[in-house]
Amino acid sequence: MKLDKLVKTLPKAELHVHLEGAIAPTVALKLAHKYQHLGVVEKVELLQESIIFQSFEDFHSYYQICMQLMRSTDDFALVVYECGRDMMNQNIRYREMYISIYQHLHIWEKNLHLQDVFDGLLMGCQKARDDFDVEMQWIFGIPRNRHFSGRNPRIFDPTIATNVLDYALQGREYGVIGIGLGGNESDAPPDPFRNVFQQAKQMGLRSIPHAGETDGANSVWGAIKELQADRICHGVRSIEDMNVVKELVERQIPLDICPTSNIRLNIYPTMSQHPFQKLDKLGIIVTINSDDPSIIGSSLCDEYIAVAKEFEYTINDLVRFAKNSIQVSYATTESKTKYLSEISQWEKSYLTNTQQTTAFQEVTYDS
């Protein structure tokens, strides 16, 4: 059996993916035409092409376009529903999706209210569950860079983070499970956000910040120590400090890694230089994710295939990563049991003993 078919049929979860960066290309174009006054149809058409970004800032500008297109309850419901369709097509059984809630409500003149977002998430999720048998939950992201002003010293204003925490607490009955911290880490360290994340944890929300992407291991250290991280998005630059690696291993804090995103955004020049396998071998719990698949141009299945080929992983390894994604998720215990059982059944149905232990570089599977 071919690798792509094996990966596509393997049940799995995805824990690091942004709703705004996962808008299906056809949906993005539909919304761009719906809102002609925004004048972004031509720019959205460019997103259908394989854009190679030159910097984090270039990527961020495209991300902003996608964010502008979600302007009503129906828009959110449509985007979520089509994400569900994508999940079915890749056998992604469960997703935890980042949402840039503050930007949706305050940055663009959308006349959008928090309840509009909640209603759209609920409608889209329920319909996707009914039609595609998939589940989604939400992480509300805090835009770290919007909290700082001035130079020497940098002045921190916690207002936005406090607002996002309030939105997340209101959203728990709609599937919001945690808060995150996103954006360019340069000059926006995690330490000042300590109190907000402490409050979130006390209220039962999970801490799932981005760290160790555009800044080094010190950012990961801050996420661990100051934000009490339950999982860390990216975290790849923890490889630059073995003390941080040791802390991740001892505390069993998983890293939700997005290999192709790290290459496209020039964190690493090539996949061969990506530390995914090193982090895995050092004992860190790793999961495979796509980050912003519609913008980056790489699906979750593409990520599994890329990692398997580059690092000569066996099918057993890919099954291990799929199980990791379920086990460290915040799906219900009942759902986790169900998904893990599906993986076990998949192993029995699809694999021979030889295939389980053979690296993909060493074998050609039949179609």
Is the pLDDT at 363 greater than 60, yes or no? no
| CA-CA-CA-CA dihedral for 68, 25, 299, 366, to nearest 10 | 180
Cα–Cα distance measured from residue 354 to residue 239, given in angstroms and rounded to the nearest whole number: 33
Are 222 and 319 contacting, i.e. CB atoms less than 8 angstroms apart? no
Is the pLDDT at 257 greater than 70, yes or no? yes
Q: Read out DSSP for 247-266? A: HHHHHT--EEE-HHHHHHTT
| Two tokens, residue 349 | 């149905």
Predicted confidence at residue 2, as pLDDT, reads: 86
Is the pLDDT at 154 greater than 90, yes or no? no
Per-residue model confidence as pLDDT tens digits over 17-72: 999 999 988 999 999 999 999 898 887 776 666 455 666 666 777 788 889 999 99
Instruction: For residue 146, give the nearest of 193, 205, 99 by alpha carbon.
Output: 193
Domains of the chain: 3-362 (3.20.20.140)
Q: Which residue has the tokens 């097509």?
A: 89
Are 347 and 319 contacting, i.e. CB atoms less than 8 angstroms apart? yes
Q: For all residues of the chain together, what is the average pLDDT?
A: 92
Per-residue model confidence as pLDDT tens digits over 109-153: 899 999 999 999 999 999 999 999 999 999 999 999 999 988 877
| CA-CA-CA-CA dihedral for 48, 51, 56, 60, to nearest 10 | -20
Per-residue model confidence as pLDDT tens digits over 301-351: 999 999 999 999 999 999 999 999 999 999 999 999 999 999 999 998 887
